[in-house]
């Protein structure tokens, strides 16, 4: 009995203490939702801690959701009006969510806050934040696709450095294919022991379409643009890497970690700069660096893509949420994320062009390749119906990229029809 | 004197379940029925009559594709799964040393979470260095892109479904086998019945109610396949593994077409109701209940 009374006493005291804490904590409570691997989430937490230290009147809590569940979780939270105040959204989902009016128009802050100057950011980074003519986000983890290459393998094969070629405008799709062929090796049983190129999955093949003068959708994203000879030429080039020239891993070989770039058995790959933090840690026995995506016959293949930092429309603390958002794209935060930690490219022009970003002490050294992308890349054709479009296109291209269909023109005609049918239908049905 | 109402207490005892059922099953079902007649994108809602159903049935090739995929999968995986579970139950019903250990070992795979088993099978089916192609390679076969070639992907899913033959279904068969009185077998043996005849004329008829139960649950389960397709192939290649449940999920949570997704769910409900009704009707010909005279 005594024990029960003592336990009840402790319980009451604990409850009272917790109540006191709540009553005395007069700080504005904010929630910030993000996803990422362990390293990325540690950086997000560091940013939140720095913000909390600088803003004693606000307490931000990082709300972590595993990447696999992030999309659904955020949708359900927006729809059920339980969303955190500030949320990081992948650009692939941003226009679709923005179309549902879940985000606050940020122009009320950007136009009145003298500390925020839109002209300090890359125009492309700002462009991605607009939906339906309204500024609904700030850009984070922004960047473009690059090629990462094994310098040691290229030197051993006697091939010129692709970054140097790109500076002279000689790093082209023809040259990349030539490199792929020269760098692919087979063992005595005829099985590939080393691949020259990684496969350019979505959205890298869209970048290559740009280089060939093509696009997936038209300018206002209302119809397919895949019925052009240029589009067929671009995707034929991509498919042929795998099935005609056999310089890329097949889907199964690509899923095999034995052909990961870190192993030294893949000479060049299409990827984002964000992956290089892992490479810096893992790769010890060969030299590597980055270069831009190869130019196509009609121009550059560069594209950009970021994540959007949005403010939930019904947040109770819009001013505090804006302060947090402004901090995450501040010089201090961008210097930490993109120069010290090198997660992506700064969205701030000054930082992206600074010597501390462009002349790092560790690989990759060719950082102007990243700046070139964010300066002159194209935004991806992502609109409110992107998830449906990419499913339809993906199911048609599956056959081409898996080697069952060999003629890109035929495949693209089917994809063109299917996408146009989709986009002409009532979006709600 | 107060009147005693035993039924009232029964009602009180099932009340927690009843509340749960109304809140989490019946309520959402009614809500989804209402939503199926609307155009609902988690933001705005409009009543549109039967347009969702018209769209699904007459202008949605992916509905028929997903139905074809699911029916094909059920057609192969359910009989194979039932046969496998029954075979395993028959073996584990033998009186041998360590029988409990064997039962535990065969049950263990079914305890692996579906996400983990999906990842495991992804490795097994890897065309380049997977266990399956390696084993086939020893006999001069192999090289099949199990999860990337639409000719083989659904077959791979059927093979994967056999992973569950040692699970709950086997336990139910085992319980059914142990419920068959030894006297029937003794009588059959006295009449000179072989082991096969005993199985055919004693075991199977007396196990038929259990088999019927497993058949109904198996078909319903096959129509609800989702996790494996979501994780391993995302419905591809070229919609070869676009299972019906995955199609509902995509419409609801990727395309925000919750009205259409609700209509798809109700169509599935009606399909399963019809299939189950047919199974009940057909069961009169092959399911035998002990002690019940067959007409």
pLDDT, one tens digit per residue, over A314-353 is 999 999 999 999 999 999 999 999 999 998 999 999 999 9
Give the helix ranges, DSSP H, for A87-222. Answer: 94-98, 107-110, 123-127, 151-156, 162-167, 173-183, 204-211
Per-residue confidence at A2, pLDDT binned at 50, 70, 90?
Answer: low
Which band of pLDDT confidence, cut at 50, 70 and 90, is reported for residue A241? very high
What is the mean pLDDT of the segment spanning B252-281?
95
CATH code of the domain containing A261: 3.40.190.10
- Tell me what percent of the residues of chain B surpass a pLDDT of 70: 97
Query: B28, B37, B39, B42: best mutation site toward chain A, by most A Cβ within 10 Å?
Result: B42
Please answer yes or no on whether A252 and B238 come within 8 Å at the CB atom: no
* Mean pLDDT value of segment B78-90: 95
Q: Which of A37-46, A324-333, B136-145, B250-259 has the lowest mean pLDDT?
A: B136-145
C-alpha to C-alpha distance for B10 and B2, rounded to whole angstroms: 18
Place of tokens 């091939």: A159
Contacts of A399 in chain B (CB under 8 A): 150, 237-238
| Residue A148: per-residue pLDDT | 97
Cβ(A427)–Cβ(A385) below 8 Å: yes
Taking the C-alpha atoms of residue B204 and residue A198, their distance in angstroms, rounded to an integer, is 56
Residues facing residue A87 across a β-bridge: A33, A310
Contact assignment for B42 to A251 by CB distance below 8 Å = no
DSSP B220-231: HHHTT--HHHHH
Distance (Å, whole) CA B85 – CA B282: 22
B236 and A398: CB-CB below 8 Å? yes
Q: Is the pLDDT of residue A72 over 90?
A: no
Checking if the pLDDT of B3 tops 70, the result is no
Flag whether pLDDT at A21 surpasses 50. no
| A328 and A269 housed in the same domain | no
**What is the per-residue pLDDT across A159-205, written as a single tens digit (0 to 9) for each?**
999 999 999 999 999 999 999 999 999 988 888 899 999 999 999 99
Q: Do B128 and A250 touch (CB under 8 A)?
A: yes
Residue A394 or A16, more confident: A394
Q: What is the mean pLDDT of residues A237-244?
A: 96
Q: Tens of pLDDT along A247-259?
A: 999 887 776 667 7
Alpha-carbon span A63 to A41, nearest angstrom: 10
Q: Break chain A down into helix, strand, coil percent, rounded to 5.
A: 50, 20, 35
* Closest Cβ–Cβ partner in A72, A387, A428 for B41: A428
Domain range for A133 is 25-143+305-379
Residue A404 pLDDT level (bands cut at 50, 70, 90):
confident
Six-digit token pair at A191?
A: 């099985």
Closest by Cα among A94, A63, A101 to A79: A101
Residues A283 and A334 in one domain: no
Beta strand B45-47 with A138-150 is unpaired
Both tokens of residue B185?
């077998």
Asked if residue A154 is part of any domain, the answer here is yes
Of all residues in chain B, the one with the smallest CA distance to A426 is B39
Could you tell me which residue, A254 or A246, shows the higher pLDDT? A246
Q: A319 and A297 in one domain?
A: no
Residue A404 shares a structural domain with residue A414: yes
Per-residue pLDDT, B295: 45
A404 touching B (Cβ < 8 Å): yes
Tell me whether residue A10 is in a domain: no
Single out the residue of A403, A417, A89 nearest to residue B144, CA to CA.
A403
> Whole-number mean pLDDT of chain B?
91
Residues A262, A407: one domain?
Answer: yes
* Chain B contact residues (CB < 8 Å to A): 39-43, 46, 48, 51-52, 55, 122, 126-130, 145, 147-150, 235-239, 250, 253-257, 259-260
Mean pLDDT of B68-78: 97
pLDDT in tens, B32-42: 999 999 999 88
Q: Would you place residue A403 in the very low, low, confident or very high pLDDT band (cuts 50, 70, 90)?
A: confident
Domain co-membership, A250 together with A392: yes
**pLDDT reported for residue B240:** 93
Q: How many CB atoms lie within 10 A of CB A64?
A: 14
Mean pLDDT across B250-276: 95
Q: Which residues of A touch B46 (CB under 8 A)?
A: 428
- E-state strands within chain B: 38-40, 45-47
Per-residue pLDDT reduced to its tens digit, A269-327 = 999 988 898 899 999 999 999 999 999 999 999 999 999 999 999 999 999 999 999 99
**How is residue A219 annotated by DSSP?**
T
Cα angle: A296, vertex A299, A304; to 5 degrees = 95
At residue B99 the predicted structure's pLDDT band, cuts being 50, 70 and 90, is: confident
- Expressed in angstroms, the distance from the first to the final Cα of chain B is 50
pLDDT over 70 (residue A102): yes
Name residue, tokens 């010597």: A355
Q: Residue with structure tokens 């970021």? A: A306
Cβ pair A429:B239 closer than 8 A: no
Q: Across residues B207-235, what is the average pLDDT? A: 93
Q: How many domains does chain A have?
A: 2
The per-type count for chain A, helices as H runs and strands as E runs, is 20, 12
Q: Does residue A282 sit at the B interface (CB-CB below 8 Å)?
A: no
Distance from CA of A231 to the nearest CA of B (A): 20
Backbone angles phi, psi at A77, to 5 degrees: -70, -40
- Residue A6 — very low, low, confident or very high, per pLDDT cuts 50/70/90? low
Give phi and psi for A63, each to the nearest 5. -105, 105
Chain A CA closest to residue B127: A252
Angle, CA of A94, A95 and A97, to the nearest 5° = 65
Q: Please classify residue A93 by burial: count the beta carbons closer than 10 Å to its beta carbon, then call 0-12 exposed, 13-18 middle and 19+ buried.
A: buried
DSSP element (H, E) containing A38: helix A38-54
Q: Under 8 Å CB-to-CB from A282, ≥6 apart: which residues?
A: A262
Query: Which residue, among B224, B120, B231, has the nearest Cα to A68 in the 3D structure?
Result: B231
Q: How confident is the model at residue B110 (pLDDT cuts 50, 70, 90)?
A: confident
Taking the C-alpha atoms of residue A141 and residue B133, their distance in angstroms, rounded to an integer, is 40
Q: Quick one: how far is CA A39 from the chain centroid?
A: 16
A167 and A273 inside one domain: yes
B41 with A100: Cβ contact below 8 A? yes
Give the max Cα distance, chain B.
86
Q: Is A171 in the same domain as A215?
A: yes
Question: How many contacts does A have with B, using Cβ atoms within 8 A?
Answer: 84
| Closest residue in chain A to residue B262, using alpha carbons only | A429
Position B27 confidence tier, pLDDT thresholds 50, 70, 90: very high
State whether A96 and B127 contact (CB < 8 Å): no
CB spacing of B126 vs A255 below 8 angstroms: yes
Q: Is A69 on the interface with B (CB under 8 A)?
A: no
Tell which of A379, A400, A415 closes a domain: A379
What angle do the packed helices A318-328 and A38-54 form, to 10 degrees? 120
Identify the sign of the CA torsion B97, B103, B106, B112. negative
B54-286: in CATH 1.10.3720.10: yes
The band of A24, judged by pLDDT with boundaries at 50, 70 and 90, is: low
A253 and A207 housed in the same domain: yes
Q: Assign residue A264 a region: left if phi > 0, alpha if psi is -120 to 50, beta otherwise?
A: left
Flag if A429 and B51 touch (Cβ within 8 Å). Answer: yes
Mutate one of B148, B235, B252 to test the A interface: name it (highest A CB count within 10 A). B148
The conformation of residue A293, written as its DSSP 8-state character, comes to P
Q: Please, what's the largest Cα pairwise distance for chain A?
A: 87
Give the CB-side neighbour count of residue A280, counting CA atoms within 13 A.
15
Looking at the fold, whether A96 and A119 belong to one and the same domain comes out as yes
- Rounded to whole angstroms, the Cα distance separating B106 from B98 reads 12
The reply to whether residue A398 touches residue B238, judged by beta carbons under 8 angstroms, is yes
ω into residue A147 within 30 of 0, thus cis?
A: no
Residues A139, A149, single domain; the answer is no
Q: Nearest CA to CA, how far is A340 from chain B (Å)?
A: 35
Same domain, A240 and A126: no
Distance between CA atoms of residues B164 and B171, nearest Å: 11
Q: Identify whether the C-beta of residue A233 lies closer than 8 Å to the C-beta of residue A240.
A: no
With a cut of 60, say whether residue A16 has pLDDT above it. no
| Residue A16 belongs to a domain | no
- Given CB atoms, is A56 within the 8 Å cutoff of chain B? no
Q: Percent of chain A beyond pLDDT 70? A: 94
How much is the pLDDT for A213? 97
Reply yes or no on whether the pLDDT at B126 is more than 90. no
């Amino acid at each position: 009995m005594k024990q029960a009374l003592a336990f009840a006493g402790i319980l009451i005291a604990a409850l009272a203490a917790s109540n006191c804490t709540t009553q005395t904590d007069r700080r504005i409570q904010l929630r910030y939702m993000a996803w990422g691997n362990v390293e990325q989430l540690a950086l997000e937490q560091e940013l939140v801690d720095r913000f909390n230290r600088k803003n004693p009147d606000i307490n931000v809590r990082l709300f972590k959701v595993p990447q696999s569940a992030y999309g659904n979780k955020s949708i359900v939270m927006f729809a059920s009006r339980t969303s955190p105040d500030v949320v990081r959204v992948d650009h692939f989902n941003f226009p679709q969510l923005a179309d549902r009016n879940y985000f606050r128009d940020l122009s009320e802050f950007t136009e009145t806050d003298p500390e925020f100057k839109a002209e300090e950011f890359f125009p492309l980074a700002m462009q991605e934040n607009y939906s339906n003519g309204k500024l609904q986000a700030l850009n984070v983890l922004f960047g473009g696709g690059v090629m990462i290459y094994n310098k040691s393998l290229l030197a051993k094969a006697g091939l010129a450095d692709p970054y140097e070629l790109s500076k002279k405008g000689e790093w082209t799709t023809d040259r990349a294919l030539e490199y792929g062929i020269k760098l692919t090796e087979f063992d005595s049983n005829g099985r590939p022991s080393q691949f020259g190129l990684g496969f350019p999955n979505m959205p890298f093949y869209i970048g290559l379409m740009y280089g060939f003068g093509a696009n997936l959708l038209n300018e206002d994203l209302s119809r397919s643009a895949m019925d052009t000879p240029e589009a067929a030429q671009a995707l034929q080039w991509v498919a042929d890497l795998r099935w005609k020239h056999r310089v890329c891993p097949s889907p199964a070989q690509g899923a095999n970690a034995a052909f990961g770039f870190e192993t030294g058995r893949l000479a060049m790959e299409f990827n984002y700069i964000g992956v290089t933090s892992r490479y810096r840690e893992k790769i010890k026995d060969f030299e590597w660096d980055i270069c831009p995506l190869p130019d196509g016959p009609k121009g550059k293949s560069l594209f950009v893509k970021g994540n959007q930092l949005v403010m939930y429309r019904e947040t109770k603390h819009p001013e505090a949420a804006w302060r947090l958002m402004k901090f995450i794209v501040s010089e201090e935060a961008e210097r930490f994320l993109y120069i010290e930690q090198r997660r992506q490219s700064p969205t701030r022009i000054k930082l992206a062009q600074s010597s501390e970003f462009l002349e790092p002490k560790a690989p990759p050294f060719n950082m102007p390749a990243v700046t070139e992308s964010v300066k002159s890349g194209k935004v991806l054709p992502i609109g409110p119906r992107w998830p449906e479009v990419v499913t339809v296109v993906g199911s048609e291209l599956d056959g081409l990229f898996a080697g069952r269909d060999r003629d890109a023109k035929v495949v693209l005609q089917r994809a063109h029809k299917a996408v146009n049918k989709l986009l002409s239908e009532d979006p709600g049905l | 004197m107060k009147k005693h109402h035993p039924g009232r207490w029964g009602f009180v005892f099932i009340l927690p379940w009843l509340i749960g059922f109304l809140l989490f099953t019946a309520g959402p079902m009614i809500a989804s029925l209402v939503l199926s007649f609307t155009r609902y994108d988690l933001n705005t809602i409009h009543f549109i009559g039967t347009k969702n159903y018209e769209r699904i049935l007459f202008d949605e090739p992916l509905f028929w594709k997903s139905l074809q995929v699911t029916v094909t999968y059920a057609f192969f995986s359910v009989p194979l799964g039932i046969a496998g579970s029954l075979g395993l139950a028959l073996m584990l019903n033998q009186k041998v040393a360590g029988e409990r250990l064997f039962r535990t070992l065969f049950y263990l795979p079914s305890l692996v979470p579906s996400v983990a088993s999906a990842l495991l099978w992804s490795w097994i089916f890897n065309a380049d260095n997977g266990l399956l192609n390696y084993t086939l390679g020893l006999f001069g076969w192999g090289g099949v892109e199990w999860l990337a070639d639409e000719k083989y992907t659904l077959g791979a899913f059927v093979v994967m479904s056999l992973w569950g033959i040692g699970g709950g279904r086997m336990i139910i068969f085992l319980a059914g086998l142990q419920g068959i009185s030894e006297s029937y077998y003794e009588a059959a043996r006295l009449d000179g019945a072989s082991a096969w005849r005993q199985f055919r004329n004693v075991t199977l008829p007396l196990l038929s109610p259990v088999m019927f139960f497993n058949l109904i649950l198996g078909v319903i389960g096959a129509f609800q396949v989702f996790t494996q397709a979501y994780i391993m192939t995302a419905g591809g290649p070229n919609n070869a593994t676009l299972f019906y449940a995955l199609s509902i999920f995509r419409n609801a949570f990727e395309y925000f077409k919750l009205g259409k997704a609700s209509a798809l769910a109700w169509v599935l409900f009606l399909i399963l109701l019809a299939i189950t009704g047919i199974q009940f009707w057909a069961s009169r010909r092959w399911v035998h209940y002990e002690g019940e005279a067959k007409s």
